[in-house]
């Protein structure tokens, strides 16, 4: 990936301001968002929580069957300071964003999500997609289930990180797969699993 298409994210915070127990107690699905922007550091922290590297061998924040990591994580940015609106692929190894689309696609993504307005109103939306072949090559059809389990782990990590940052989010599973894939410009082998609108 050419350097001009990469956005380096601020270093992730590994100390935190809130205990896991506090975050668990306060975690709620919230669909109301203000017009306030996220910071680039907050966006990076959320992505790191979902799929960040935590070990020199490349292990990540969320467990993965066989450490095969079938998930791809995308940030649909609409109101993130110091980040142009667009679609970005999270690159865990570099803790960076790879720009894919330079446009605010939140309205189109909301339409793909059955018109759920919170997808459009959130400052950003984190999208989890799976490449099943990464796990099915080792585990056969069972690998599809493992990818879904991993998506749940990663989404909960993001949920708890959002609570710690005093941000709101919700898991959205109601959407047209093909429409989400088309809106994000993803290849056919990318299967969208979860949308998580995030904001204040």
Q: How far apart are CA 43 and CA 50, in angstroms?
A: 11
What are 128-156's pLDDT values in tens digits? 999 999 999 999 999 999 999 999 999 99
Judged against a pLDDT cut of 80, whether residue 4 lies above it is answered with no
DSSP per-residue string spanning 61-128: SS--GGG---EEEEEEESSBTTB-SEEEEEETTTTEEEEEE-S--HHHHHHHTTT-HHHHHSSEEEEE
pTM: 0.95
Q: What's the Rg (C-alpha) of the chain?
A: 16
Judged against a pLDDT cut of 60, whether residue 2 lies above it is answered with no
What are 62-91's pLDDT values in tens digits? 999 999 999 999 999 999 999 999 999 999
Domains of the chain, each with CATH number or no CATH? 3-7+28-199 (3.40.109.10)
What is the reported pLDDT for 1?
Answer: 44
What is the reported pLDDT for 3?
Answer: 53
Residue 107, phi then psi, degrees to nearest 5: -60, -45
Model confidence band, residue 102 (pLDDT cutoffs 50, 70, 90)? very high
Greater model confidence, 161 or 21: 161
Strands 191-199 and 124-130: antiparallel
Strands 168-169 and 124-130: unpaired
Q: What percent of the chain has pLDDT over 70?
A: 98
What are 7-64's pLDDT values in tens digits? 999 999 998 888 888 888 888 888 999 999 999 999 999 999 999 999 999 999 999 9
Distance of CA 56 to the CA centre of its chain: 22
């Amino acid at each position: 990936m050419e350097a001009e298409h990469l956005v380096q994210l601020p270093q992730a915070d590994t100390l935190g301001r809130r205990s896991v127990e506090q975050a668990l107690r306060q975690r709620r699905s919230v669909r109301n968002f203000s017009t306030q922007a996220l910071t680039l550091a907050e966006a990076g922290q959320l992505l790191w929580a979902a799929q960040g590297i935590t070990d020199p061998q490349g292990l990540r924040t969320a467990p993965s069957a066989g450490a095969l990591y079938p998930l791809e994580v995308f940030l649909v940015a609409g109101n993130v300071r110091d980040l142009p609106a667009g679609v970005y692929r999270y690159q865990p190894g570099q803790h960076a964003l790879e720009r894919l689309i330079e446009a605010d696609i939140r309205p189109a993504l909301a339409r793909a999500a059955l018109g759920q307005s919170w997808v459009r109103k959130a400052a950003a939306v984190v999208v989890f997609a799976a490449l099943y072949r990464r796990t099915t090559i080792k585990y056969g059809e069972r690998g599809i289930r493992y990818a879904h389990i991993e998506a749940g782990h990663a989404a909960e990590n993001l949920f708890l990180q959002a609570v710690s940052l005093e941000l709101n989010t919700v898991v959205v599973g109601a959407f047209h797969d093909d429409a989400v894939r088309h809106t994000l410009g993803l290849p056919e082998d990318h299967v969208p699993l979860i949308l998580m609108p995030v904001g204040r």
